[in-house]
Amino acid sequence: MVDVDINEKPKGKRYILTWTPWLEIVALSAILICIICSTVVVTVSHDKEVTTWRISPAVWLAIFSAISNVAFSSALATGIAVRFWLRASDGTQLSQLHYIWDHGRGLGFWPAIKSGSEARKVALVCTIAYLVQFSSGPLFQRSTHTLSQSRVVQQNMFFDIANRIPDGWSGNWQSDRTVIHNRRVMSQTQAWYRNDSIAVPSAEGYMCDGTCSGSVRGAGFAYTCAPTTYEPLDLSTNASHRATVFHIRAELVADERSEPLLTLLTKHIDKLEGNCQATVKIDRCNITAAVVEHPIIIQNSTAWFDHSALKFNRSLPIISPYISAGDSLTTPIGSGVGPLAGLQAFVSGHMYDNATTTFNPTLKKWLFAGPGPGTLADVFFKAEPWDFGNHSLISCGLSWDSPTEYVLANLHEWQFRVAERVGRGTERQSFEVTKTVPVLVFWSENQYLGPALAVAILGLFLVASLSWGWWRLEKPVTLSPLETGKVFGGDIFSGVRGDATVSEILREVKDVEVRVDTESGVIAQDQITREEVRMQRPNKVFTTGSGSGIYLAEGMERGEGSQGGSVAGSTRVHTHLGQA
């Protein structure tokens, strides 16, 4: 030990700033800044495209989490040191100080809970702080993720399509007023049948780096349908043998002004009632050539007709009607056919169908058969088993869905394909599209961001609470062995073996009561005789090496030396400190 003259002048007065735990303040501030920055990153990145962030939010959150963890460790260490010395200055058992230092780590948690209120509080606060600090990172990470979204913009594009189908492009008239198709029409019919996509040029303005939908003007047709009519059909008698129950036909005629007109006729049994009383539904639509706005979809370098934009009994938007000489009934044989005649030939070759009834005496049921020649009667027949309700209907269960909408939709597509083939490379149309682009965006989830923010702030307050009362210490404190060894000295542990473990030391000294004056030293509640006090020099003070004294005489109060001098930091001692 070092001896110091009691008449030595006291050290200058310390100011509160000299023992303010600046490290913890900086650490807590860093934690708070990381919490704020993490919240800002999650909030600002919401619904933003991934390509707009050079560093993703997940990386930022990982950086802030790492900084926060380092700051958390520093703040926690400072807080435990403050709590340790505050408790020591108030007086406590050595076991309490040990468990405060250990702050419930690992297997020390349960002994700390049992040891006393202060150690219990520190262990609980630190354990909860560890848990919330651990959970805040995953919660922040879970609060943001990526998902695919559609971005919609308007832009102009190009598409090659003819405004008119020239006469003769679809074939020529024969003597029986039928049409001889050429290879060009056959090629487009094959593409329609296979549902082939249409390739657009690779030039700028034609391709779409997403999904572009719009309406482009081109050759097509307009139509109007007359009100639906119904005819009764009695399937309970043989009189209905060979009656028409399903029919599709297109016929080129002239209207009252002698202008060409294509009529589409469809028939089908729509419903059955008791005793095999059927109702035949009849649709009649008149079709004329026109420039219309075709609904189109383009993806990358592929285009196709948009069937979803069609509505039954509602023509496509009409730009202007037109009449082609090749559609006239007086067109000379061998002349080129017009667009309506081409449509009529398409229906006759690929959609015409006619189904009639026949009674099978063996099965005792009505069946349907040709003459056909199409297959649409089979396609639209309601083949699923169904409960007729009335037993008498079992023998005549014939009904169909309406083919009218299907036929009109496919006529639109076929005419669109023909117009595109005619105008390919020669007639460029400009039109506006709605471009839908799938993009990867960051998406924030408030159900995770809220809890992440709450637990992070809770952890901040828990760590900060450990340092509450730091201003009472009147000096900076740590748990450095240099500082604790200086204050406690070795005499408290004089009866403990030198090679004893921590647990063995704790068993020996756990009941020793100590109170530390942070400016002077430690007072241990043990016995010291007056003879041992008298053996010390009466005008000297034994210190711990810092210049602050521990008086070894009963009755001495703070600031009073044996000669009446003033010594800063003196205190009453009730322990045996060893020889000078």
| pLDDT tens-digit map of 103-147 | 667 666 767 666 767 777 877 888 888 888 888 888 999 999 899
Q: 323 or 480: whose pLDDT is higher?
A: 323
For the chain, give the percent of residues with pLDDT over 90.
Answer: 36
d(CA 163, CA 161): 7
Angle CA 86–89–90, to nearest 5? 90
- The pLDDT score that the predictor gives to residue 320 is 94
In the block, tokens 């303040």 appear at: 25
Q: 546 or 313: whose pLDDT is higher?
A: 313
d(CA 361, CA 474): 115
- The pLDDT score that the predictor gives to residue 520 is 52
- Across the chain, mean pLDDT equals 78
Buried b / exposed e over 79-93, threshold 16 CB at 10 Å, is bbbbbbbbbbbeebb
d(CA 520, CA 279): 112
d(CA 80, CA 385): 80
Can you say how many angstroms the Cα of residue 308 is from the centroid of all Cα atoms in its chain? Answer: 29
Please report the beta strands in 39-173, taking only residues with DSSP state E, as ranges in sequence order.
48-49, 92-93, 144-160, 172-173
Mean pLDDT (whole number) for 359-374: 74
- What band does 393 get if pLDDT is binned at 50, 70 and 90? low
Count H helices and E strands in the chain, helices first: 13, 21
Q: Residue 192 belongs to what H/E stretch?
A: helix 183-194
- The pLDDT score that the predictor gives to residue 352 is 93
Residues 492-517 pLDDT 10s: 666 666 555 656 666 666 666 666 65
Can you say how many angstroms the Cα of residue 216 is from the centroid of all Cα atoms in its chain? Answer: 36
- The pLDDT score that the predictor gives to residue 162 is 96
Helix (H, G, I), strand (E, B) or coil at 468: coil
Question: Which range has the top average pLDDT, 173-177, 346-350, 559-563?
Answer: 346-350
Q: Is residue 45 scored above 80 in pLDDT? A: yes
Mean pLDDT (whole number) for 250-263: 91
Comparing 82-86, 278-282, 360-364, 414-418, the range with the smallest average pLDDT is: 360-364
Q: Are 169 and 422 in contact (CB under 8 A)?
A: yes
Residues 15-35 pLDDT 10s: 666 667 888 888 889 989 999
**Strands 302-305 and 198-199, sheet pairing:** antiparallel
The neighbour count for residue 35, using CB atoms within 10 Å, is: 20
The model's pTM: 0.63
Q: Is residue 71 scored above 60 in pLDDT? A: yes
β-bridge mates for residue 64, sequence order: none
Mean pLDDT (whole number) for 280-304: 95
CA neighbours within 13 Å on the CB side: how many for 130? Answer: 11
Q: 119 or 562: whose pLDDT is higher?
A: 119
- The pLDDT score that the predictor gives to residue 577 is 28
Per-residue tokens: 367: 């069946």
- What band does 88 get if pLDDT is binned at 50, 70 and 90? confident
Phi, psi (rounded to 5 degrees) for 240:
-90, 10
Q: Is residue 442 scored above 60 in pLDDT? A: yes
d(CA 482, CA 512): 21
In the block, tokens 């309700």 appear at: 389
Per-residue tokens: 22: 């600046």
512 burial type by CB count under 10 A (0-12 exposed, 13-18 middle, 19+ buried): middle
Residues in the chain: 580
Rg (CA), the chain: 49
Phi, psi (rounded to 5 degrees) for 248:
-135, 130
